[in-house]
Chain A
C-alpha cells in the first residue's frame, strides 16, 4: 500500500454521515485490532496516557467511567492505491485514512484504522486533486471509476484480503503497526500475566438498500439482525447488521444504515471488538482449564490472571449512543454475547467458591 505523506490533525474528523445510496455512494470501512497490554499489571491513567501519546505533545482523550479509557488523537495517513473489490476490479483510491490507539482499564490495547470511501464521486479519471484537498478531508478516500458498494464491502470484509501480498488498501496492516508501536512503548515491561492472541475486527458501513447477495449465507457463527420496522430510512437509522466469526482471530461486521454519525460507528466497532476479544480470550482460558483442572478443589492456575485482570472490564455498550444501540441489542439477541459472558463468569465463580471451600476444609482438619 502506498503511503503518501503523513500528517496529524488533533480534532477535525472526517465528520459526516453516509448519504443516501445513489449519487456518490459512500462506504465506511475499518479494522480494529485488540490485544492484551504487554505489561505485568494494569496501567495507571498517566501511564496509559503515555502509551497512546503517539507524538510528543499530542492531546489524549481520557475518560474514567464506566471503565478507564484513553484514546490517542487521530493520525492521518495518505493513501494512493487500489481499494479492495470482491470481483477483482482494480479501482484506484486517493485520500487519507485515520488511525487511533486506545487503552481500556489499563489492560487492553486497541488500534483502529478507518476510511470513508466515496465511490464515483467528483473525481473523474485523469483529474487528480492536490493533496491539500485530501488533507482538508481527513479520513476520506475518493475512488474514480465504477465500483459498487457491495463489491467494495465484500472485498474488504473477505478474510483473504489483508496482509497482502499485493498493493491493495490494507487497513489491517496500518492498525497492526500502530498496535505494535503502542506495545513497544518503553513504559511496558513486556511481561503480561498471560498470553493472548490479538483479534482483528473488520467492519463496513453501507447505505440501507437491498440485501447483498449471499449475505445471510455467511460462514460459521453469524448473525443477521433486521432492525427495520419500516423500509423508509430516517436520520440516524440502522437497517441491518451482519456479524461473522470468520476464524479464531478474525471477525467481520457489516452494518447497513443511513444518517449515522461515522465517529460513533467507529466507536461502536471498537467497543464490540473489545468485548468480542474479552469473550474470545476468557473462553479460551476457561476451555483450557476445564480440561486441565488441577482437581482437589484447587483453582486452576490459569484462571487467576483472568479474574485479576479481565472480569471487571466487561461493560458492553457503555460508550454507545442511542442511535446505535440497536446494533448491540440485535447482536445480543442473536449471539447472546452477555449470556455467554455470564456463563463463563459463573463457571469461574464456581471454581473460586470450590477452591475456597476446599481451603476451609483443609483449615478445619
Chain B
C-alpha cells in the first residue's frame, strides 16, 4: 500500500505523526518505508533521529536529486542502523524493515516535467513491490508534490497498486474547514485527481482524516481547570464535532486522533515506550493513540468504501 500524508496547512503534525506511525507499523512486524516528499523542508531525518539527514541529505543523493535525474536511484537509509535512540538499536526482535528515503538538503519546491513524473512512477511502484507500507510525506497544501503523485497514481502502471490518502488537521474551526477543502474542495485531492484520470468515487473513498494535537477535556491534563473553563472546552469540542460532520470529515472518515502531547508540543520526535514509562515525559494516551492509528492504517476494514 502507498499512503500519502497530506495537510492543507503547514505545522499540523503531519510529519511527526506519520513518522511515528511508520515506526509503529514496523515494530508490529511490517516492512515499511518512508519518503520525504516535502521538498521545501525535509524534516523526516530530524524527527526520526537520523543525524546524517537532519535537514535532508547533502551530497545530492536524496529524493529531489533522483526526481531531477541526477542519480539513478535515491539513497535508502536502513533506520535500524541510523536512528540515534538506544532503545531501537539493534533492530527490535520481530520488527520489519524500516527504511527512510530522505529529501535533499537545500532542496525546494519545483515544477514537474514529464521525465520527473516517469521517475516518480517507477520509484513508487518499485517500493510498493518491496514494502508492505510506503508512506509519502507530501508538502502542505496544493503543492507540486501533490500534483505529481496524483498524476502518477492515475497511470496504468500504478493503478493496480493500492493507494490511500491521509489528511492531517488540527482540532480547530479553521483547520477543519481547510482539511475538508483540501480533500473535497475546488482543486482539492479528489478534484485534481479526477481531472488527471482517477476514478472520482474511488479516490473519494480512499481519503481518511487524522486529527492532531487534540485537547481531551476529560484527560488529567485539564483536571485543574475551573468549572467554567471545563464546560467551555466541552462545548467547543461538541461544536467542532458538528462542524466536522457538516464538512463531511466526521467520524465515518476519521482514521485516528492524536491527543495534545507535552513532548510533541516541545519537540518533533519519536514517542517510544521509554518516553512514557522510564522518562515519564510523554503521555500514555499519546502512545496508545499512535498505536491505534498504526493499526488502522494497516487494517483494510478502516478503508472500506462508505
Is B285 among interface residues, defined by CB-CB distance under 8 A?
Answer: no
Q: Which of A18-26, A163-171, A238-246, A314-322 contacts B (4 or more CB under 8 A)?
A: A163-171
Is A12 among interface residues, defined by CB-CB distance under 8 A?
Answer: no
**Cβ distance A51 to chain B, nearest Cβ, rounded Å:** 14
Residues of B within 8 A of A180 (CB): 122, 125-126
Residues of B within 8 A of A1 (CB): 72
**Cβ distance B59 to chain A, nearest Cβ, rounded Å:** 8
In angstroms, Cα B284 to Cα A45, docked, is 55
Chain B residues with a Cβ closer than 8 Å to the other chain, count:
27
Task: Tell me if A292 and B129 are in contact (CB < 8 A).
Answer: no
A190-B161, A195-B31 known; A165+B60 contact, CB < 8 A: yes
Task: Tell me if A183 and B126 are in contact (CB < 8 A).
Answer: yes
A190-B161, A191-B160, A291-B93 known; A35+B70 contact, CB < 8 A: no
- A274-294 vs B: 1/0 string, CB under 8 Å? 000000000000001001100
A186-B156, A190-B160, A191-B160 known; A165+B122 contact, CB < 8 A: no
Residues of A within 8 A of B129 (CB): 35-36, 38, 183, 190, 192, 195, 198
Query: 8 Å CB contacts to A: which residues of B124-160?
Result: 125-126, 128-132, 156-157, 160
Q: From A38, A176, A188, A292, give the contact of B29 (CB < 8 A).
A: A292
Residues of B within 8 A of A192 (CB): 129
Query: 8 Å CB contacts to A: which residues of B49-76?
Result: 59-61, 65, 70-73
In angstroms, Cα B239 to Cα A168, docked, is 62
**Which among A163, A198, A248 has the highest number of chain B CB atoms within 10 Å?**
A163
Task: Tell me if B130 and A184 are in contact (CB < 8 A).
Answer: no
Chain A residues with a Cβ closer than 8 Å to the other chain, count:
30
Instruction: Tell me the nearest residue of chain B to A1, going by C-beta.
Output: B72
Residues of B within 8 A of A172 (CB): 72
Residues of A within 8 A of B97 (CB): 197
Task: Tell me if A173 and B96 are in contact (CB < 8 A).
Answer: no
In angstroms, Cα B93 to Cα A292, docked, is 9
Task: Tell me if A196 and B130 are in contact (CB < 8 A).
Answer: yes
Task: Tell me if B125 and A183 are in contact (CB < 8 A).
Answer: yes
Is A47 among interface residues, defined by CB-CB distance under 8 A?
Answer: no
In angstroms, Cα B130 to Cα A197, docked, is 5
Query: 8 Å CB contacts to B: which residues of A207-260?
Result: 248
Task: Tell me if B130 and A177 are in contact (CB < 8 A).
Answer: no
Task: Tell me if A165 and B126 are in contact (CB < 8 A).
Answer: no
Task: Tell me if A188 and B94 are in contact (CB < 8 A).
Answer: no
In angstroms, Cα B156 to Cα A198, docked, is 22
Query: 8 Å CB contacts to B: which residues of A146-194?
Result: 162-165, 170, 172-173, 176-177, 180, 183-184, 186, 188-192
**Cβ distance B133 to chain A, nearest Cβ, rounded Å:** 9
Residues of B within 8 A of A176 (CB): 72-73
Task: Tell me if A165 and B65 are in contact (CB < 8 A).
Answer: yes
Task: Tell me if B71 and A165 are in contact (CB < 8 A).
Answer: yes
Instruction: Tell me the nearest residue of chain B to A181, going by C-beta.
Output: B122
- A24-68 vs B: 1/0 string, CB under 8 Å? 000000000001101000000000000000000000000000000
**Which among B29, B59, B156 has the highest number of chain A CB atoms within 10 Å?**
B29
In angstroms, Cα B120 to Cα A158, docked, is 27
Task: Tell me if B122 and A177 are in contact (CB < 8 A).
Answer: yes
Instruction: Tell me the nearest residue of chain B to A37, going by C-beta.
Output: B129
A164-B70, A164-B72, A248-B78 known; A189+B160 contact, CB < 8 A: yes
Instruction: Tell me the nearest residue of chain A to B160, going by C-beta.
Output: A190
**Cβ distance A302 to chain B, nearest Cβ, rounded Å:** 8
**Cβ distance A160 to chain B, nearest Cβ, rounded Å:** 11
Task: Tell me if B160 and A163 are in contact (CB < 8 A).
Answer: no
Task: Tell me if A188 and B130 are in contact (CB < 8 A).
Answer: no
**Which among A162, A186, A190 has the highest number of chain B CB atoms within 10 Å?**
A190
Instruction: Tell me the nearest residue of chain A to B72, going by C-beta.
Output: A173
Residues of B within 8 A of A248 (CB): 78
Instruction: Tell me the nearest residue of chain A to B70, going by C-beta.
Output: A165
**Cβ distance B16 to chain A, nearest Cβ, rounded Å:** 26
Residues of B within 8 A of A288 (CB): 29, 94, 96
Residues of B within 8 A of A36 (CB): 129
Task: Tell me if A173 and B73 are in contact (CB < 8 A).
Answer: yes
Residues of B within 8 A of A170 (CB): 72
Task: Tell me if A163 and B73 are in contact (CB < 8 A).
Answer: yes
**Cβ distance B87 to chain A, nearest Cβ, rounded Å:** 17
In angstroms, Cα B70 to Cα A163, docked, is 9
Task: Tell me if A198 and B78 are in contact (CB < 8 A).
Answer: no
A163-B71, A164-B70 known; A184+B132 contact, CB < 8 A: no
Q: From B29, B70, B94, B125, give the contact of A184 (CB < 8 A).
A: B125
Task: Tell me if B131 and A184 are in contact (CB < 8 A).
Answer: no
Instruction: Tell me the nearest residue of chain A to B132, going by C-beta.
Output: A195
Residues of A within 8 A of B130 (CB): 35, 195-198
Instruction: Tell me the nearest residue of chain A to B73, going by C-beta.
Output: A163
In angstroms, Cα B31 to Cα A288, docked, is 11
Instruction: Tell me the nearest residue of chain B to A36, going by C-beta.
Output: B129
Binding site for A on B (CB under 8 A): 29, 31, 59-61, 65, 70-73, 78, 93-94, 96-97, 122, 125-126, 128-132, 156-157, 160-161
5 closest cross-chain pairs (CB), A and B: A173-B72, A190-B160, A164-B71, A291-B94, A163-B73
Can you list 19 contacts pairing A with B, beta carbon distance less than 8 Å? A1-B72, A35-B129, A36-B129, A163-B72, A164-B70, A165-B61, A165-B65, A165-B71, A180-B122, A183-B125, A183-B126, A184-B157, A195-B130, A195-B131, A197-B31, A197-B97, A197-B130, A288-B29, A288-B94
A184-B157, A196-B130 given; name 19 further pairs at CB < 8 Å.
A164-B70, A164-B71, A164-B73, A165-B59, A176-B72, A176-B73, A177-B122, A180-B125, A184-B122, A184-B125, A186-B156, A192-B129, A195-B129, A197-B97, A198-B126, A198-B129, A288-B94, A291-B94, A292-B29
